[in-house]
């Protein structure tokens, strides 16, 4: 294996994001393949016993076992780290493996976590159910209110955890403020960047410590594999995350890592185009529904903040119908082009009813607390011609009397 210029940080850190996305992290075998090789291997062989001993002792570079290193996975990790502006990254099997690992690797009984109340259903479950089970106290707050973060800090607060934009309420968190506050109190910020990705927003640039990902979403972008990643400083990854990851094994499969590597090559282009499409469709939908939550529209109460933090506003937005669950489901059932699907970031336009799907598990009280209403629908705008998506929404909205 030969490392290309793509692994030399003195070169790659000067590349622009689209170049990093195509060439970052690439190694080549003796065959000189253009596309990254897929190493479907669990283990490695050694020329002699001294070599393997040296590798296990950390005295020699090289692979020992795919729970610890794998060349295809290593290429993905270096590429994501570069794009995120992070010193280091470790890939995980899924977005939830990434969130669980990012939190549990640094928390212990007696610690306290402050988290945004508007979050992906499973992220809320981690905060509400899993962490308390291990004696970790948690407080959920309205993350849009800067003062709420400061108010929630206790002497034992170790982590701030949030996503921005949030799934599916599209709440925006003021990253510069919240990360700065955390720094001043020695608190580690963990930002779930699944909705925007590094193509649209880089939390580390605003002072975040750790960025955790569902790479299943925009990074793969074509609805093929589950994947996740955690980025941070080299020291944090080596000393805090790695001991946990190596010994608990939430690792990504090399095949899935390879698929995401291919997805990253077109991330910049897809994120930009899907954001443009979502803005156009959003402008149409805004004229037809009582309420819309789209950070790119002036009607979003945090539009100015979103403009400050994001290069574009992403492919996802939500809207709320007055007719509750019944009208929302009728609209879903009237769709002809847009699929009923709870995935996001896909190149296909997909719509879901969060209260009965992604946020069913958190229960009605938590849904009400975070603003997931019965009449809410969340849409991911894909790469189709936006006029075809608009035509489909037009007929579906008409069919439910809007
Ligand atoms: C989908 C999602 C996750 C979970 O990712 P998986 O890859 O499905 O495990 C976490 N956070 C957010 C914001 C998501 O949208």
Atom of ligand 1 minimally distant from the CA of 167: 13
Q: Which residue has the CA at smallest separation from atom 4 of ligand 1?
A: 95
Two structure tokens written together for 72: 């295809």
User: What is the mean pLDDT of the segment spanning 24-31?
Assistant: 93
Q: Dump pLDDT digits (tens) for 170-223.
A: 999 999 999 999 999 999 999 999 999 999 999 999 999 999 999 999 999 999
| Helix (H), strand (E) at residue 347 | none
Residues 337 and 382 in one domain: yes
Alpha carbon distances (Å) from 227 to 170, 251, 358: 22, 9, 18
Q: Dump pLDDT digits (tens) for 213-267.
A: 999 999 999 999 999 999 999 999 999 999 999 999 999 999 999 999 999 999 9
Ligand 1 contact via 95 beta carbon (within 6 Å): yes
Number of domains the chain is built from: 2
Residue 200 lies in a domain: yes
Residues 247 and 325 in one domain: no
Question: Which 3 state secondary structure label does DSSP give 209?
Answer: coil
Residue with tokens 């400061």: 150
Residues 241 and 324 in one domain: no
Residues 271 and 232 in one domain: no
Residue 29 lies in a domain: no
Summary mean pLDDT of the chain: 96
Mutate to test the pocket of ligand 1, among 80, 91, 93, 96 (most ligand atoms within 8 A of CB): 96
Domain containing residue 231: CATH number: 3.40.640.10
- Cβ neighbour number for residue 29 with a 10 Å cutoff: 12
Taking alpha carbons only, the member of 33, 88, 41 closest to residue 255 is 41
Residue 300 lies in a domain: yes
Task: Decide which of 252, 287, 317 is a domain's last residue.
Answer: 252
Residue 37 lies in a domain: no
Residue 13 lies in a domain: no
pLDDT confidence band for 297 (50 / 70 / 90): very high
Residues 143 and 229 in one domain: yes
Task: Please tell me the predicted confidence (pLDDT) of residue 4.
Answer: 82
Residues 248 and 324 in one domain: no
Residues 210 and 243 in one domain: yes
CA 80 from chain center: how many Å?
12
Alpha carbon distances (Å) from 206 to 14, 85, 102, 228: 19, 11, 19, 21
Residues 246 and 316 in one domain: no
Task: Please tell me the predicted confidence (pLDDT) of residue 69.
Answer: 93
Peptide bond into 287 cis (omega under 30): no
Residues in CB range of 233: below 8 A, 6 or more apart = 86, 87, 88, 209
- pTM: predicted TM-score of the whole model, two decimal places: 0.96
Angle at 188 (CA atoms; ends 183, 193), nearest 5 degrees: 110
Residue 46 lies in a domain: no
How far separated are the first and last CA of the chain, in Å rounded?
60
C-alpha 107/C-alpha 112 separation (Å) is: 8
Residue 206 lies in a domain: yes
Atom of ligand 1 minimally distant from the CA of 97: 9
Domain containing residue 294: CATH number: 3.90.1150.10
Task: Decide which of 252, 279, 294 is a domain's last residue.
Answer: 252
Residue 193 lies in a domain: yes
How far apart are the CA of 96 and the centre of ligand 1, in A? Answer: 6
User: What is the mean pLDDT of the segment spanning 135-151?
Assistant: 98
Task: Decide which of 205, 229, 252 is a domain's last residue.
Answer: 252
Atom of ligand 1 minimally distant from the CA of 216: 7
Whether 160 contacts 114, CB under 8 Å: yes
Ligand 1 contact via 192 beta carbon (within 6 Å): yes
C-alpha 11/C-alpha 357 separation (Å) is: 45
C-alpha 233/C-alpha 97 separation (Å) is: 19
Atom of ligand 1 minimally distant from the CA of 163: 13
Alpha carbon distances (Å) from 62 to 68, 69, 242, 288: 10, 8, 16, 59
Residue with tokens 């955790």: 212
User: What is the mean pLDDT of the segment spanning 299-322?
Assistant: 98
Residues 348 and 313 in one domain: yes
Task: Please tell me the predicted confidence (pLDDT) of residue 48.
Answer: 96
pLDDT confidence band for 5 (50 / 70 / 90): confident
How far apart are the CA of 139 and the centre of ligand 1, in A? Answer: 21
Residues 205 and 282 in one domain: no
Residues 290 and 395 in one domain: yes
How far apart are the CA of 340 and the centre of ligand 1, in A? Answer: 18
Ligand 1 contact via 345 beta carbon (within 6 Å): no
Two structure tokens written together for 193: 């960047």
Residues 92 and 233 in one domain: yes
Domain that holds residue 277: 267-399
Whether 91 contacts 71, CB under 8 Å: no
Ligand 1 contact via 100 beta carbon (within 6 Å): no
Question: Which 3 state secondary structure label does DSSP give 286?
Answer: helix
């Amino acid at each position: 294996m030969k490392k290309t210029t793509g692994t030399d940080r003195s070169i790659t850190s000067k590349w622009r994001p689209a170049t990093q996305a195509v060439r970052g992290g690439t190694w080549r075998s003796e065959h000189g393949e253009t596309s990254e090789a897929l190493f479907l291997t669990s283990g490695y062989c050694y020329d002699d016993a001294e070599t393997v001993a040296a590798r296990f002792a950390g005295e020699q570079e090289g692979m020992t076992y795919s729970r610890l290193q794998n060349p295809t996975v290593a290429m993905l990790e270096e590429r994501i780290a570069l794009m995120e502006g992070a010193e280091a990254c470790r890939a995980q099997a899924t977005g939830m493996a990434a969130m669980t690992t990012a939190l549990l690797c640094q928390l212990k009984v007696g610690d306290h976590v402050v988290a945004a109340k508007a979050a992906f259903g499973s992220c809320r479950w981690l905060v509400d159910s899993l962490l308390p089970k291990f004696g970790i106290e948690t407080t959920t707050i309205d993350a849009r209110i800067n003062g709420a973060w400061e108010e929630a800090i206790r002497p034992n607060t170790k982590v701030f955890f949030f996503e921005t934009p949030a799934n599916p309420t599209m709440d925006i968190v003021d990253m510069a403020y919240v990360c700065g506050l955390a720094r001043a109190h020695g608190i580690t910020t963990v930002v779930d960047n699944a909705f925007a990705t590094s193509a649209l927003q880089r939390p580390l640039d605003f002072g975040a410590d750790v960025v955790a990902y569902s790479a299943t979403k925009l990074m793969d972008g074509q609805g093929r594999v589950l994947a996740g990643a955690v980025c941070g400083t080299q020291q944090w990854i080596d000393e805090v995350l790695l001991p946990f990851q190596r010994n608990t094994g939430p690792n990504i499969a090399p095949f899935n890592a390879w698929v995401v590597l291919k997805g990253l090559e077109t991330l910049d282009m897809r994120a930009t185009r899907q954001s443009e499409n979502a803005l156009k469709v959003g402008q149409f939908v805004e004229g037809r529904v009582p309420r819309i939550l789209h950070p790119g529209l002036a009607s979003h109460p945090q539009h100015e903040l979103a403009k400050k933090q994001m290069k574009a506003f992403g492919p996802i937005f939500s809207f709320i119908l007055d007719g509750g669950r019944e009208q929302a489901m009728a609209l879903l059932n009237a769709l002809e082009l847009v699929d009923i699907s709870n995935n996001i970031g896909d190149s296909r336009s997909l719509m879901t009813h969060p209260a009965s799907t992604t946020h069913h598990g958190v229960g009605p009280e938590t849904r009400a607390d975070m603003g997931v209403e019965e009449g809410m629908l969340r849409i991911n705008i894909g790469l189709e011609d936006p006029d075809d998506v608009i035509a489909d929404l037009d007929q579906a909205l008409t069919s439910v009397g809007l």
